[in-house]
Structure formats: C-alpha cells, structure tokens
C-alpha cells in the first residue's frame, strides 16, 4: 500500500489556479522527486502536505487514513515536516533552543533545564551525524548548516515524511554532497522524502520516483530508471521548445547605451566590465550567489557600497544614485516583484505611474487624464488581463503583475532596461508574451540586460550571454556558440575536457 | 443604477457615515430631555430671558424642553470638540498611511500651545504692548512653527537613525511635554490680546463656533488634495504599501517620510492655535492623552496601521465618531472615568472589524 497518497488536490490563489486535481502516490522509504517549471505548483503541493497551506479540494491519505493538517504543527503531529529555503528559526537563539523550541525541557517553576536542553539537542544533531555546536546562534550558521538543523529538528521530533523545498539551491558543492549522504541515510532508516527541485541531475542521482507537474496539473509519475532527463523535460514543458529566432537578431545593433566599468561591491561582486548596445538583449547567467542581481541593482544605483563607473551613452552617471539612473533613462525590473517591484495594495494605474510621477505631475499635482491615458496605453500594449485600470494589483496573476511591473518602466520611457528574472512565477502563456515583448523592445532600439536562472530562456532570447561566477565575469558566449553545456561549464567553473 | 449612486455606495466612507447616523439616532433616543431657560434676542443683539405672563399678570420665567443630544448647543459643542481632534487626525492619517505612527501629537500640541501662549502673553495687554493684530499673528506663527519644527525633529531622527517611529515619537512625547512644563514652570499662561479669542469664538446664531469648524473643513480638503491629487500623496501611499518597491521606483523615501511628520506636527500646531483662541490660556498639561483620541480617529476612519491605506475624509468621520462616543458618555450620564475604557475598546473593535473585512475581501478574490 502506498504510504502517502494525494487525491485530486486543488489549490487556488488570487488570480491563479496553483494546483488542479493532482493525484499520485508515494511508497514508504523512498525519495520522491517533485519537478516542474516555476509556477508549476511543486512548492505549493509540498506546503499543503506540511500544513502551510490547506487544499481547497481533494484528499491526502497517510497509510490509508485521510489527513488534513490545518497548520505546520498539526502536520508535525502526523509525522510530516518541511525543510524550507527560508529562515525557519529564530536567528538570535541558539541551535539547542531552536531545536527544542516546541517542547523545552523544564525544571520545577518553569525554568529551562539547560543541561537537558543541550543534551537533547546534541542527541538530535548526532542522529543525523551533523557536526554543529548546539550553543551556536542560528544566525551565525551558513545556509547549509541551518538546513541540517532543520532536518535534525524534523527527524528528532519523529517525522516520517520530510518535504525538502529546493534544498540544494543555496548550498555549496561540498554541502550538497553532505546533504545527499544524509538523504540516503534517512531513506535507509525508512523515512519518506519528498524532494522538490528543478535540478535534473540531482533528482536522477538521488530519487526513486519522479512526479512531473505542469501548470498545476499532474503530468506523470514514473520510476527513475524508467525515464530519462530529456523525457522529463518534455513532460515539464509539454511541447517541444520552438526554436524561434527573435526578430531583433536580424537587425544590426546600434550604438553603445550602457557600459559598466570595473563595477565592484565588497562581498558581492568585483570588477564587472560589460556593455550593452541599442537593440541588443544581453543575458547575464550564473548560479545562485554569483552576484547577478547584485550587479544590476548596483548599476541602477541601489548599492551604497558600489565602486566603479556606470556610463550611459558614453557619459558617466553619478554612482549610487537611483535619481541619476532614472535621469539617464535606466529602469530596473527587480527579481522579486512582490517585494521590490510593485505596491500590491495600489491599483494598476497607480503602479504603472509610480516611476513617472515627476513626469506626470505639474507643480506637484498629478495630471490624472495624462496618467490614465499613459496607464491605459501600456495596459493595452502589454495585454494586461485586468478588469480595469483601477484593479488592485495584488489580486492579479503572476504574469499580469509582471507586465504591470514592466509597464512602470515603459511608461517612464526608459532606453535601458535591466531585467532581473523576467518570467519568475509566470505561467507559460504569459512567458511567451513577455519574450515577444522583450524582443519587440530590442527591435525598437532599447538596450536590455536580462538576468535569468532559466538557461533556455536566455538561450532563446539573447544576442549574447555573459556568465558570472562567484562575483566575477567568467566569460561571454556569443549566439553562435549557444549551448546549455557551454554556459553550465562557465557557471560552475569546469574547464572543457579537451583543453 | 446611475454612476453617481453607484459611486456613493462603493464610496469607502459610506460605512462610517452609516455608523455616525446610527450613533446619532441611538444617542437621540436614549439621551432623554432637559429643561433649559428660554432666551430671546433683544433688538440690540443681546440675550434676555423670556417670561410668560399669566392671566393674573404674574411673570414666570419660561422654559423649553430639549433633547439632551439633539439640540443646537450640544451639536455646536460636538462640532467644536471634533474639529480639534479631526485636524490632528488628518496629519496622523498621512503619517499612518506612510507606514509610520506619531505618538507625540498630544505633546506637540501642548508645546505649541504653551510657546504660542508665552508670545501672546508677552505682547498682550499685560506685557510689552504690541499692536494686538501683530501680536496675534506672531503668536499664531510661533504655534505653527513649533508644530512643524517638532515634526521635523521627529522625521529627521526617524530617517537619519533608521529607528522605528514608535520609539522616536514615544521619546518625543515625553521630551516635548517636559520642555513645555519646564518653560511654563507648570503655570497656566493667559492674558492674550482679546482679538484672537473674539475671532476663534466668533459665533453664528446659537453658540455655534464656526471658526474651528471651518478650519477643520479647510484642513480636511487640503489633506484630501494632498493624499489623492498630489504626487507627494501618491508617494506616501506607495511607501506605506511597499517601501522597497517605492525605493526601487526612484522615490526618495527619506524625504517623503520627513515631510509626513512635518505635516503631522503642523496639524497639531493648527489645533493648538484654535485651542489658544478658544480657551484663552494654555498649560503644559494640555492635550494629555490626545494621541489616543487622534490615533483612534485615524484607525476608526479606515487607516491601516500597516500603512498604504486610509483617507482624509475617513479620519475626520472617525474623529466625529470618537467625539460622539465621548459626548455620548456625558449625555447618557455614564461616569466620565469610563470614557478612556470605552474609546480604547472602540479602537480595538474597529481594527478587528477591519481585519475581518480584509479577510472577506481576500476570500472573495480567491473564489472569483
């Protein structure tokens, strides 16, 4: 009998159907991969199991018994735990305190029994062979170590099912190895693991079964030996990738618009020199932590510690100043649109006009007619699907939110667009529209610098791709040499075998 | 439905109007009546009691029976009391919409009153006589400038130190009142030129002081223009809604924040001017606990303490509700000492209601 079963799980968020009748089963003592594109619903499913979200419809069964954890605590009681990417602990408390937070050993009178606390924490850490000082503050640990503490907490409280959401995404190679060893040990002990990731190679190395989700729907559940990475990719995408050449490639690139000269920021990136010409889409690739977002943010004047020069149309602009960047007609579409890109409580019109207020106002008064016509123009041009200009942005789907975030800079009439993760959390249909739009903007002579974690996106869109590794420029790949392998080599720092 | 009516129903503040209406009806119904001597106007503009003469020629004073709540005097009183709070609440609304809070408004009000009073006293009839009009103008200016400067100090510290506004304004609340106390040595200061009092207490008909009311209307309109028509107001909403996104859009967050605290201080200064004119004296204990009423008015009026939401008209209606409750406590003969308890409870109830409302709206969005 299956250890864990999902039966027609459905979950709806404002504006988007995150999961649509997902059903599959997981046998005990296996590692089950959950894969899908961004927004496919893999994390949502994990969070429903761990009680972070509750499903709108459908049923989960653990050993045949229906379960519906209302919150993470209820899930814990059922033996289900989740290991998050985000900080799940109190950073200013010790490892031991965090591990026992839910059930502190007490002496008479409500005093914490410190020796018992430490002993129990040590025991929990030892059970997963983690070499971590129980007295260290959580905030001083690396992400990898903190993840180990999370796993120790899960195992120590008797979890039988552990959901790991992108566990390796911010780990170093060595830490990833350690994690793998641990996962195998846990499996041997009879624990069931759900491994949410989009790193194909890891899944094939580690997991027994794989479930592919696409746009919230279940596509396939197969045993790992019975499938291949290529097969999984086509299941994720649901169609062959159309190798359509963007139109901007056919046009000659114009004059140089943006140049970064020896741009550096301590601890983030150093000595970045690059240029983008009118009509070009230049990709910026790199692993997590390579300094991609940090670089474009610094170019936009957001990094107070940045040194080096930013030149627009051959003229240096004041560094570390957003006003100077705006005046030079630079725009930044940030990585995290909910936190950095949009004011979710304001409507489409207000968000579109947000960066253009100085242009739209006369003597401090917002010219409302002008504002409305501007917002309306870009709403139509970007085909934003919203009931009206007055719709609150927080209720729109990811794709439409992203379009509004982009409209903000188009309304400002930027010549140079720094675009960080253009399609994160955007559904497939809107992705294609955003690609077409970026191509169109390049054709109009705008200069685009695009950061993305999705290599196929960069390979499809860009004129050339620059690769960052550990905060430094590792190389440039022209379109003629485009391949995932070439990029991955540069990103990971692996020399070509034949060299 | 014609668009005008539809807009009225969708109108954010219509719920508040409804609450005011219900409160008014309840107060009228439960207030009971009072017998007051009847007055009439004489030919020269004075007031004299009305007498009735019975058949035997005995003159007995006439009385009239009025509803304790619904009578001209009480409503005029209510309007005046509301305007003092409402003016400050408009400033507070702007601060709260920006995602901040200002606990020091009561103290700014006291300090502005006291400093204004000292100037008015100094140049008043008992001091170095200056032309009364010039003395008044100087006093008013000092009041407003004190308010604005206190706000500037609040805003400056909040922006420069990056400390939560709660802490800075909590400190300012104690410091500013302390300065007011030291400056006055705890004494009440009066003896102003009569002109100020005559102007502010100018009455229309039956004891209705129109000046505070008019000032409130002007401040409300200015607040409304600032928040909904000026680019500056849009920036305030953006910062309160998502400070980081505002910064990423090129908005100078620090400058805007500085501005909102100056406006809140200025509003307290305006209220202080009215109180000087109305009461003709000031002490360092003035406006004690006003921050409760002012924040209550803003919250009841629909400002979200997480920022990004609220309106000028809403908070003025919120101030009216708070003041109706306060005056209702008096009229219904409830012990005065309960008023703080009741107002505190109303604030909590308003926030709970607002949360329920937000939750419902979110659910509607999800189901849609």
pLDDT single digits (tens) A80-122: 988 876 656 788 888 988 888 877 888 888 888 889 999 999 9
In a domain, B52, yes or no: no
In a domain, A335, yes or no: no
Residues of A within 8 A of B308 (CB-CB) are 343, 345-346
Overall domain count for chain A: 3
In a domain, B82, yes or no: yes
In a domain, A364, yes or no: yes
In a domain, A249, yes or no: no
From residue A186, alpha-carbon distances to A143, A329, B181 in Å are 20, 54, 69
In a domain, B368, yes or no: no
Q: Are A393 and A421 contained in the same domain?
A: no
Domain that holds residue B267: 73-356
B206 vs A163, residue with greater confidence: A163
Q: What is the pLDDT of residue B12?
A: 62
In a domain, B61, yes or no: no
Q: Are A227 and A309 contained in the same domain?
A: no
Q: Are A297 and A365 contained in the same domain?
A: no
In a domain, B137, yes or no: yes
In a domain, A161, yes or no: yes
Q: Are A185 and A272 contained in the same domain?
A: no
Nearest of A58, A103, A83 to residue A145 by alpha carbon: A83
For residues B336 and B329, the answer to whether their CB atoms sit within 8 Å is: yes
In a domain, A222, yes or no: yes
pLDDT for A313 beyond 80: yes
- Give kind and range of the element (H or E) at residue A44: helix A42-49
Q: How many CB atoms lie within 10 A of CB A269?
A: 25
Mean pLDDT by 10 residues, chain B (368 residues): 57 79 90 79 73 80 82 85 94 96 97 95 81 90 97 97 95 96 92 85 76 94 94 95 93 95 97 93 91 92 90 93 90 84 86 79 61
pLDDT, tens digit (0-9, with 9 covering 90-100), for A5-40: 999 999 987 667 889 999 999 999 999 999 887 667
Nearest of B143, B102, B77 to residue B298 by alpha carbon: B102
Using CB atoms, pick whichever of A322, A343, A366 lies closest to residue B242: A343
Q: Are A16 and A94 contained in the same domain?
A: yes
Q: Cα–Cα distance between B7 and A148 in angstroms, integer? A: 56
Q: Which residues of B288-297 are buried (b: 16+ CB within 10 A; e: fewer)?
A: eebbbbbbbb
Residues of B within 8 A of A334 (CB-CB) are 248
Paired tokens of A444: 């109009």
In a domain, A156, yes or no: yes
Q: Are A324 and A453 contained in the same domain?
A: yes
| Residue B286: partners with Cβ closer than 8 Å, 6 or more residues away | B109, B110, B113, B114, B275
Q: Cα–Cα distance between A83 and A171 in angstroms, integer? A: 14
Q: Cα–Cα distance between A139 and A170 in angstroms, integer? A: 16
In a domain, A53, yes or no: yes
Residues of A within 8 A of B238 (CB-CB) are 343, 346, 350, 354
Q: Cα–Cα distance between B119 and B142 in angstroms, integer? A: 8
CB-based contact B234 A357, cutoff 8 Å: yes
Overall domain count for chain B: 1
Q: Which of A384, A411, A438 is the endpoint of a domain? A: A411
Q: What is the pLDDT of residue A196?
A: 87
In a domain, B263, yes or no: yes
Q: What is the pLDDT of residue B283?
A: 93
In a domain, B103, yes or no: yes
DSSP string over B56-74: T--EEE-EEEEESSSSHHH
Q: Cα–Cα distance between B106 and B116 in angstroms, integer? A: 15
Q: Which residues of B91-120 are buried (b: 16+ CB within 10 A; e: fewer)?
A: bbbbbbbbbbbbbbbbbbbbbbbbbbbbbb
Lowest mean per-residue pLDDT among A278-287, A346-355, A451-460, B354-363:
B354-363
In a domain, B367, yes or no: no
CA distance A169 to chain B (A): 25
Which residue out of B249, B305, B363 would a mutagenesis test of the A interface target, given it has the greatest number of A Cβ atoms within 10 Å? B249
Q: What is the pLDDT of residue B368?
A: 47
Three-state secondary-structure class, residue B48: strand
CB-based contact B246 A354, cutoff 8 Å: yes
Q: Check which CATH number belongs to the domain holding B227 and give it.
A: 1.10.3470
Q: Which of A211, A237, A263 is the endpoint of a domain? A: A237
Q: Are A93 and A205 contained in the same domain?
A: yes
Query: In chain A, which residue's Cα lies nearest the Cα of B248?
Result: A340
Q: Which of A180, A210, A237 is the endpoint of a domain? A: A237
Domain that holds residue A376: 344-411
């Amino acid at each position: 009998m299956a250890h864990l079963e999902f039966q027609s799980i459905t979950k709806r968020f404002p504006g988007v159907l995150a999961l649509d009748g997902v059903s599959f089963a997981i046998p005990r003592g296996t590692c089950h991969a959950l894969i899908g594109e961004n927004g496919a619903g893999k994390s949502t499913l994990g969070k429903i199991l761990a009680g972070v979200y509750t499903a709108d419809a459908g049923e989960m069964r653990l050993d045949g018994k229906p379960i519906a954890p209302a919150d993470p605590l209820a899930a814990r009681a059922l033996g289900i735990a989740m290991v998050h990417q985000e900080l799940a602990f109190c950073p200013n408390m010790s490892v031991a305190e965090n591990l026992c937070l839910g059930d502190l050993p007490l002496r008479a009178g409500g005093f914490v029994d410190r020796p018992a606390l430490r002993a129990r924490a040590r025991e929990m850490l030892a059970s997963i062979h983690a070499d971590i000082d129980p007295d260290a503050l959580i905030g001083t640990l690396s992400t990898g170590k903190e993840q180990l503490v999370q796993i120790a907490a899960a195992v120590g409280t008797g979890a039988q099912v552990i959901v790991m959401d992108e566990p390796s995404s911010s780990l170093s190679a060595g830490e990833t190895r350690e994690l793998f060893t641990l996962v195998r040990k846990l499996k041997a002990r009879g624990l069931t693991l759900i491994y949410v990731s989009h790193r194909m190679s890891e899944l094939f190395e580690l997991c027994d079964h794989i479930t592919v989700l696409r746009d919230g729907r279940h596509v396939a559940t197969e045993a790992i030996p019975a499938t291949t990475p290529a097969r999984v990719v086509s299941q994720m995408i649901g169609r062959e990738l159309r190798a359509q050449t963007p139109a901007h490639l056919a046009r000659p690139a114009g004059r140089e618009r943006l140049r970064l000269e020896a741009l550096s920021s301590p601890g983030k990136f150093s000595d970045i020199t690059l240029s983008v010409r009118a009509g070009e889409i230049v990709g910026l690739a790199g692993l997590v932590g390579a300094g991609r977002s940090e670089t474009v943010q610094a170019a936009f004047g957001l990094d107070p510690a940045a040194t080096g020069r930013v030149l627009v149309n051959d003229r240096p602009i004041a560094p570390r100043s957003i006003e100077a960047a705006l005046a030079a007609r630079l725009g930044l579409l940030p990585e995290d649109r909910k936190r950095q890109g949009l004011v979710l409580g304001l409507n489409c019109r207000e968000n579109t006009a947000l960066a253009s207020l100085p242009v739209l106002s006369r003597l401090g008064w917002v010219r409302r007619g002008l504002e409305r016509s501007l917002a309306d123009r870009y709403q139509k041009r970007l085909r934003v699907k919203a009931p009206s200009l007055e719709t609150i942005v927080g209720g729109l789907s990811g794709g439409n939110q992203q379009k509004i975030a982009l409209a903000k800079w188009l309304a400002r009439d930027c010549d140079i667009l720094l675009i960080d993760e253009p399609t994160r959390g955007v559904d497939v249909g809107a992705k294609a529209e955003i690609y077409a739009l970026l191509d169109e903007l390049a054709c109009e002579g705008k200069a685009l610098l695009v950061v993305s974690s999705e290599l196929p996106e960069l390979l499809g869109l860009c004129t050339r791709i620059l690769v960052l590794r550990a905060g430094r420029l590792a190389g440039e790949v022209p379109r003629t040499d485009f391949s995932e392998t070439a990029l991955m080599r540069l990103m990971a720092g692996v020399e070509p075998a034949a060299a | 439905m014609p668009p005008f009516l539809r807009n009225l129903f969708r109108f954010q503040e219509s719920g508040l109007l409804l609450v005011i209406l219900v409160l008014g009806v309840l107060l009228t119904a439960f207030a009971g009546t009072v017998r007051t001597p009847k007055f009439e106007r004489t030919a020269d503009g004075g007031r004299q009691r009305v007498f009735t003469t019975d058949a035997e020629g005995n003159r007995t004073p006439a009385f009239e029976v009025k509803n304790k709540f619904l009578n001209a005097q009480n409503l005029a009183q209510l309007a005046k009391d509301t305007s003092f709070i409402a003016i400050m609440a408009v400033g507070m609304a702007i601060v709260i919409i920006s995602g901040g809070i200002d606990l020091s408004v009561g103290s700014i009000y006291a300090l502005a009153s006291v400093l204004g009073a000292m100037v008015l006293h100094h140049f008043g009839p008992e001091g170095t006589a200056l032309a009364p009009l010039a003395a008044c103008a100087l006093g008013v200016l000092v009041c407003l400038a004190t308010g604005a400067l206190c706000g500037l100090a609040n805003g400056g510290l909040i922006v420069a130190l990056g400390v939560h506004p709660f802490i800075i304004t909590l400190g300012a609340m104690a410091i500013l009142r302390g300065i007011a106390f030291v400056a006055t040595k705890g004494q009440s200061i009066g003896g102003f030129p009569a002109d100020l009092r005559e102007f502010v207490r100018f009455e229309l008909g039956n004891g209705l002081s129109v000046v505070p009311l008019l000032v409130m209307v002007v401040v409300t309109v200015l607040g409304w223009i600032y928040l909904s028509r000026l680019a500056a107001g849009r920036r305030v909403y953006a910062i309160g809604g998502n400070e980081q996104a505002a910064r990423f859009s090129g908005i100078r967050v620090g400058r805007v924040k500085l501005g909102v605290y100056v406006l809140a201080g200025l509003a307290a200064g305006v209220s202080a001017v009215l109180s000087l004119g109305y009461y003709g004296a000031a002490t360092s204990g003035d406006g004690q606990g006003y921050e409760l009423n002012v924040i209550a008015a803003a919250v009841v009026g629909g400002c979200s303490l997480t920022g990004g939401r609220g309106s000028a008209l809403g908070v003025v209606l919120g101030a009216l509700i708070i003041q109706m409750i306060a005056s209702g406590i008096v009229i219904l003969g409830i012990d005065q000492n309960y008023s703080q308890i009741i107002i505190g409870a109303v604030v909590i109830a308003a926030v709970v209601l607002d949360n329920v409302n937000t939750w419902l709206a979110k659910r509607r969005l999800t189901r849609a």
